[in-house]
Amino acid sequence: MKEFLSIGELAKIFDMDVQLLRHYDAKGLLVPQVRNSENSRRFYHFDQVYPLATIRYLRRLGYPLAQIRDFLHNNALRDNLEMLSEQAEKLRRQCDELNATIQIIQQKVEFIDREQSSSQKGKFSVRTFPRRAFLHIGDEINLFTHELFYFYPTVGFYRGERKWFGALLYEDTPVQEYHFPELMAEQTLSYIPAGEYLCGYHYGPYLTIQDSIDRLFEEASRRELRVDDCVITPNIVDQCCEGHPENYITGLEVRILPEEGITAEEYLMPGPVG
């Protein structure tokens, strides 16, 4: 075995780019033992394959380069084992978050498939819903920068000129199993009450949704239904899964109120507004 390896030979052993070895050199992680003063060619002693293997191993575990440098320069076994244990715990948390994300993606796909299959353009129906949980997001301006927007179906609330939004949580998931607790801890869990709703659908961009809302109220009047003044609009097909606004599908729901009982102001309070 050769005592010294060129940068190209060392890179070939590990099937890596020579630029990465140059980067490790610049960062002080793996400095070649010999550097030709005339042409700056790098030569590594064969024993340097061991620290390079360690670097590759720690990178696979997700260590940042600064922490790898500390690991390599630390002669205390117990300290390095503690660092490995801490990294294992960090990876476990990341794994939990990834599994939660996978589950939420699957739930969203199932939600879209279920709701899209029951949607009918120009048709109205009365549906009975269980109590549904949602988390307030707030005004439309807050919607697209809020993390919950990317994980749960958006639900809008339209009352006259006012509108606000939330993240609709899934009916088949117990509250204690909702994911991303660090996000949810900042939110107030609210509920859309159970009951009968007159339902329709809006097809197309959100800018024209008011026309569909007006038709929903016209249908309620035609059926002589006493309904709430707030329309609930769960997104079914939206920009997260469809690139063309003309193909968006938004549910329209207005609660059919009992002859005697609660009113909109008592059961549905808007989130923060400007």
The amino acid present at 114, given as its one-letter code, is R
Cα(266)–Cα(133) distance, rounded to whole angstroms? 16
Measured between alpha carbons, how far is 106 from 152 in angstroms, rounded to an integer? Answer: 11
Beta carbons within 10 angstroms of residue 181's beta carbon = 9
The CA distance from 124 to 144, in Å, is 30
pLDDT tens readout for residues 180-218: 555 555 566 788 999 999 999 999 999 999 999 999 999
Evaluate if residue 127 carries a pLDDT over 60: yes
Backbone angles phi, psi at 146, to 5 degrees: -95, 130
Q: What is the pTM of this model?
A: 0.69
Summarize the confidence of residues 107-128 as an average pLDDT. Answer: 91
Give the Cα separation of 24 and 27 in Å (integer): 5
Query: Sign of torsion, CA 163 169 171 174?
Result: negative
Which string of b and e fits 12-32 if b means at least 16 CB within 10 Å?
eeeeeeeeebeebbeeebbeb
Mean pLDDT of 77-96: 90
- State in Å, rounded, how far the first CA of the chain is from the last one: 72
Give the integer Cα–Cα distance in Å for 150 and 144. 8
Amino acid at 239: Q
Q: Which residues of 91-116 are buried (b: 16+ CB within 10 A; e: fewer)?
A: eeeeeeeeebeeebeebbeebbeebe
* Separation between Cα atoms, residue 78 and residue 90, nearest integer Å: 18
Write the DSSP symbol of residue 43: E
Q: Model confidence over 21-67: pLDDT tens digits? A: 999 999 999 999 998 777 778 999 999 999 999 999 999 999 999 88
Query: In the chain, what percentage of residues exceed pLDDT 70?
Result: 87
Q: What's CA 180's distance to the chain center, in Å?
A: 9
Q: What is d(CA 241, CA 176) in angstroms, rounded to the nearest whole number?
A: 28
